[in-house]
Structure 1
């Protein structure tokens, strides 16, 4: 789905200025453990299946909807892998719209479907091995893609800031 009426309304008011955008992203793996990435075909770098959280929508609902729209797969979020945001997660779209994402990244399990995008935002879908991940539009740390039995959520922060707080 293209931009929702809610975000269109905001864009009409603020133009291309920076917009804070709560979002979700999905790590979807195939039977080989490869990770699914999306290419929009408009010159942007590759991305995870991802998108904005809509009004009234929980992050887990949003990731199910976004993955279905962009891939044709029905998924169930299994684990919250990480939460990201701040200036490192600012992005400018080819049309000049600026956003600063606050992203909830979920590990998702496919329950049905075949790769077939339901919207016009996806030109190509491809699974990649961890060692061959394409250049990404969003700077996720590599650890978020590694399969493990960890039970902790990855939180992004500046180590210097954390050290300064702990010394107070």
Structure 2
């Protein structure tokens, strides 16, 4: 099974999408370095088209195949994040409670930081308990921009 990646230019900067022959396995912003083979395949092309529609405000969910690689705890957090509706937010505490581990707020934050598929696994929709934007691997400006995009604001 091959491992591939391709880098696209978007309004948010460079977007790298990695895949094997079947699934998208990673998405990164502004980090075009990889040891994988630089090659566009159908999986990556499909992912880019859907992500680009999201960036244009025309798509709210994704249908391309993904594979989440992480610990069981991380996967439980990421699966819960995918249940947050477009345009809505949840707190770290709400996510911790919903996965049955109410004291794991910090661990939820760490899982968000290790999220291999930002946007698709919408860790940008997780906010602090008082509504503050806290922590995002690509910076709080990017988090704010993504949340505004989902609320129909420019």
Q: Smaller-chain TM-score range?
A: under 0.3
- The higher radius of gyration belongs to 1
Greater relative contact order (CA < 8 Å, ≥ 6 in sequence): 1
With the length of structure 1 as denominator, give the TM-score of the two structures. 0.24
